[in-house]
Amino acid sequence: MTNKPFAGKVALVTGAASGIGRASALAFAQQGAKVVVADVNVSGGEETVRMIVDNGGEAIFVATDVSRAAEVEALVRQTIAQFGRLDVAHNNAAIEGALAPTAAYSEEDWDRTINVNLKGTWLCLKYEILHMLQQGGGAIVNTASVVGLVGTIGLPAYCAAKGGVVQLTKAAALEYAKAGIRINAVCPGATHTPMLNRLMVQPGAETGMLATIPLGRIGNPEEIAAAVVWLCSDAASYVTGHIMVVDGGMIAQ
């Protein structure tokens, strides 16, 4: 008997070179999955693979820009070629985009942010689902955000994209439930990641953010990863189309 619920399963994680994606990849590996690490950041992605292998796990890195259909299709194809199957996926790759109000946002910044965060999530879903339909099922978790549910100042494209991920998750969950594919999303709140660090450069930014979080602290990537892994596990076998907020109580107010 094994106490590793993902033993014999294959997990694909995008945006896995750092932050929540890396924590998710490590968590799947710790629970027995073979992991495909995908990111545009080659050095970070390869480091995630090394961390998994050093802990006795099995993983490969595939450099992938999720905004490009051919690269996402190749990512799923390489996953199958290497490991023979795809059981679970965490579509996590995202960028924060430019920090500017709506009327000052450039078209280029808007398109780039939407292409990575929303189109990229859709492309990952598309090619993962196409394989899972042949395989007879699977589980997928998309990373949305609390700002996909409530607004924030200065990140209009990010908010729009993450709100789109929420609705895309629900639509896809309904479409493929009868095919045995469960599709859910996590909405992280403030979490210690490189992205948050880039957004919190102003003096007093962290103090101001902490004041909005009832639990009184910023979350860790491992706490988001735990939710992702649970949603992909058999323990969540009756959960699909769910948008799980993991934010220390921030948007309960």
The mean pLDDT value for 15-39 works out to: 98
Q: What is the pLDDT of residues 225-249, one digit of tens each?
A: 999 999 999 999 999 999 999 999 9
- The set of residues, in sequence order, having a beta carbon less than 8 Å from that of 196 and lying 6+ positions away, is 190, 218
Tell me, yes or no, whether 137 lies in a domain. yes
As for how many domains the chain has, the answer is: 1
pLDDT tens digits, 102-118: 999 999 999 999 999 99
The span from the CA of 113 to the CA of 95, in Å, is: 6
In a domain, 111, yes or no: yes
Q: List the single range of 36-50, 69-83, 123-137, 208-222 with lowest mean pLDDT.
A: 208-222
- Mean pLDDT for the stretch of residues 183-192: 95
Within-domain flag for 100: yes
Q: Is residue 192 domain-resident?
A: yes
Residue 4 in domain: no
pLDDT band at 197 (very low <50, low <70, confident <90, very high): confident
Instruction: Establish if 2 belongs to a structural domain.
Output: no
Cα separations in angstroms, 114 against 28, 38, 84, 166, 222: 28, 19, 32, 14, 26
**Residue 201: pLDDT band with limits 50, 70, 90:** low
In CATH, what number is assigned to the domain containing residue 44? Answer: 3.40.50.720
* Average pLDDT of the residues in 62-84: 98
- Which pLDDT score is estimated for 205? 75
Domain region containing 212: 10-245
Of 192, 133, 160, nearest to 125 (Cα)? 133
Q: In whole numbers, what is the pLDDT of the chain averaged over residues?
A: 95
Q: Which of 105, 127, 158, 176 is catalytic?
A: 158
238 classed as catalytic: no
What integer pLDDT is reported at residue 1 of this predicted model?
45
Report if residue 36 sits inside a domain: yes
**How large is the average pLDDT for residues 27-39?**
98
- Res. 203: pLDDT tops 80: no
In-domain check, residue 250: no
Question: Does the pLDDT value for residue 218 go beyond 60?
Answer: yes
Mean pLDDT calculated for residue range 177-185? 98
